[in-house]
Amino acid sequence: MRIPLQITFHNIPPSEAVETKIRSLVDKLENFYNRITSCRVIVDAPHRHHRNGKLYQVRIDITVPTGEIVVKRDPPERQSHEDIYVAIRDAFDAAKRKLQDHASMLRQETKTHEEQPHGRIATLFPDEGYGFIETPDGSEVYFHRNSLFNGDFEQLQAGDEVRFAEEEGDKGLQASTVRLIGKHHLQG
């Protein structure tokens, strides 16, 4: 974490044992999801009139690069949150589930990226093992024979249509993966 962990106690005296438990659980969250930038934990024993004693509330605010994840565990109807450690455990279990959901959502967004760029083989240098792809906007992108995913480099011809993945190379944009496609796959 870039910002140190903050632990706050409301309506109860600070406890070194509780802080140690919280630090241990935060470490586990960081091992599970290493992009946490800050974490704040608030342990509260609100003044309520319960017959069986105080019920603890735990709030966890986790900051990640894409936003904030908030877990607020109010005491359930059952009395298990009379035990501060049970309340903390339940809150951190919920935080881990929310981080799992967050990570899944980010992976899904990555999977739904836009379609790869396309172009036509503009120039080939078969003896040297490379060529250039002309994109629809007229720019040229370098590719190496090892970038060709499906097809035989020796069979390529100028004008063949391809889809490719771009990356920044030493001398500008280059195609990291080139896929040969049939003329019927692209229009316009």
3-state SS, residue 108: helix
The answer to whether the CB of 21 falls within 8 A of the CB of 91 is no
Alpha-carbon distances, residue 106 vs 39, 67, 112, 113, 176 (angstroms): 20, 12, 10, 11, 23
Instruction: Give the residue-averaged pLDDT of 30-57.
Output: 82
For residue 30, what is the enclosing H or E element?
A: helix 16-32
pLDDT confidence of residue 94: 92
Q: What is the mean pLDDT of the chain?
A: 84
The pLDDT value recorded for residue 72 is 87
If you average pLDDT over residues 53-70, what whole number do you get?
Answer: 88
Question: Rounded to whole angstroms, how far apart are CA atoms 157 and 153?
Answer: 9
- C-alpha of 116 from chain center: 21
Q: Which residues contact 180 (CB under 8 A, 6 or more apart)?
A: 148, 149, 150, 151, 156, 160, 161, 162
**79 residue type, one letter:** Q
pLDDT grade, residue 65 (50/70/90)? confident
Q: What's the average model confidence in pLDDT over 92-119?
A: 78
Specify the pTM.
0.56
The residues facing 174 across adjacent strands are 142, 167
DSSP state of 36: -
Task: Return the minimum-mean-pLDDT range out of 44-48, 57-61, 89-93, 140-144.
Answer: 44-48
